[in-house]
Structure 1
Amino acid sequence: MRIGGSTGSPHTPRTHRHGDRPTAEPERAADRAGCAADTVTIGVSIPVPEPHGSLLQDSRAGFGDPLARCIPTHITLLPPTEVAGDALPAIDAHLRRVAEEGKPFDLRLEGTGTFRPVSPVVFVRVAEGAEGCSRLQEAVRSGPLRRELHFPYHPHVTVAHDIAEAAMDRAFEELADYRGAFLVEAFSLYRHGEDGVWRPVRHYAFA
């Protein structure tokens, strides 16, 4: 997905009307990873619900991003992570506990940002709900999923990645006035398929 990669970036991104904390786009790492037969690549994310999910995915496809249909619209909690296949039951139990202890929170998307020139990414900003995302990703990234991030966590929704500069500019401008809000009531575990598609494995609703 850009379910995955690292969730930080070594630079301050350019944003639409606002300054954001740095991050890096989470997806290409898993695209390049060659997993051993006894490992799988997973990610954990907040799925962006309808109508926002389809609208942003269609927009991403319209900008010419070849991965648009392989990656459900999401906000990353755990970047692409290789795990042993026999660890999945423990991971499932861990995520169920996280969901049981979690609470729904409001999330608002507003405007665009970019990590260029360091990382070729344009995204829609999380204008409200970033703290809820941060708390949730810290809980997810613990126990059997404990791992360090290279850069500070920064929630966002990718709408263009590693495409022509003109198309990146168009994504930045055309979605600059985008607004969308929803209640985060669950998160999902995804698995990266051999065909390059990220698919949800299980959804975890908050108690």
Structure 2
Amino acid sequence: MKYGIVAFPSKPIQDEINSYRKRYDPHYALIPPHLTLKEEFEADDEKIENLITDLKHIANETEPFTINVNKVSTFAPVTNTIYLKVEPTQEMYDLSNKMHTGNFPDNRTYSFVPHITIAQNLSDDEYSDVYGSISMKDIQLDDTIDRFNLVYQLENGIWTVYETFVFGKEYV
């Protein structure tokens, strides 16, 4: 089964981000706005149970942190993906790095760039138009991240939460 690890912003922030995604992101209906901490990976039931134990330890050791989103950026020319840039913090990098060591598969395709995708799979013309208009918007979103989620992909492509890990909670 395919799994991933993400942090979801609060509902008001998701609503703001979805105002862009519903028009420009074909994955809008498949997963809410999120910060990807570990991209998708394959795991069987035994492997995922071992990783859940590790994720509980990571959550125990992690304090809530603030994210600041203040600009629109893009992965062009690699892909025509437009995203909201999440100002990087050491906490985010540490969290992502912990999810790529030990029992976790180190399956990084790209370097960790904290972001929330708002548009993807655009043609070159669409990309130019959308990026041109969205990049002029004044975006200032702040939120506190106090948990992350292990998600898995259903047969219809929708991602759903398998388990939520709250920071600082004493998991046993």
Select which of 137, 146, 149 maps to 1:185. Answer: 146
Q: Which residue of 1 aligns with 2:6?
A: 45
Q: How does 1:36-185 map to 2 (within 5 A)?
A: 40-63=1-24, 65-127=25-87, 129-172=88-131, 173-174=133-134, 176-185=137-146
Task: Give the CA deviation at 1:94.
Answer: 0.8
After superposition, the C-alpha distances for 1:80-127 in whole angstroms (9 at most, x for unaligned) are 001122212111111000000111111101111111122111000112
**SS class of match (1:94):** helix
CA change 1:179–1:58 in 2 (3 A) is: same
Matched, 1:202 2:167: no
After superposition, the C-alpha distances for 1:53-77 in whole angstroms (9 at most, x for unaligned) are 12212311122x2211112111111
Task: Give the CA deviation at 1:170.
Answer: 4.5
Q: In the alignment, residue 72 of structure 1 is paired with which amino acid?
A: P
Q: Structure 2 length normalisation: TM-score?
A: 0.88
CA distance in 2, matches of 1:114, 1:130: 19
Whether contact under 8 Å (1:57, 1:69) holds in the other structure is no
CA distance in 2, matches of 1:199, 1:54: 18
Whether contact under 8 Å (1:99, 1:186) holds in the other structure is yes
**SS class of match (2:40):** strand
Provide structure 1 residue ranges, at least 5 long, that are not aligned to the other structure. 1-39
Q: In the alignment, residue 52 of structure 1 is paired with which amino acid?
A: I
CA change 1:202–1:161 in 2 (3 A) is: same
Provide structure 2 residue ranges, at least 5 long, that are not aligned to the other structure. none
CA change 1:189–1:114 in 2 (3 A) is: same
Task: Give the CA deviation at 1:148.
Answer: 4.4
Percent of aligned pairs with the same residue? 20
Whether contact under 8 Å (2:72, 2:84) holds in the other structure is yes
CA distance in 2, matches of 1:163, 1:151: 20
CA change 1:87–1:148 in 2 (3 A) is: closer
Q: Structure 1 length normalisation: TM-score?
A: 0.74
CA distance in 2, matches of 1:56, 1:165: 22
**SS class of match (1:145):** coil
Task: State how many pairs are aligned.
Answer: 166
Task: Give the CA deviation at 1:204.
Answer: 0.5
Whether contact under 8 Å (1:159, 1:171) holds in the other structure is no
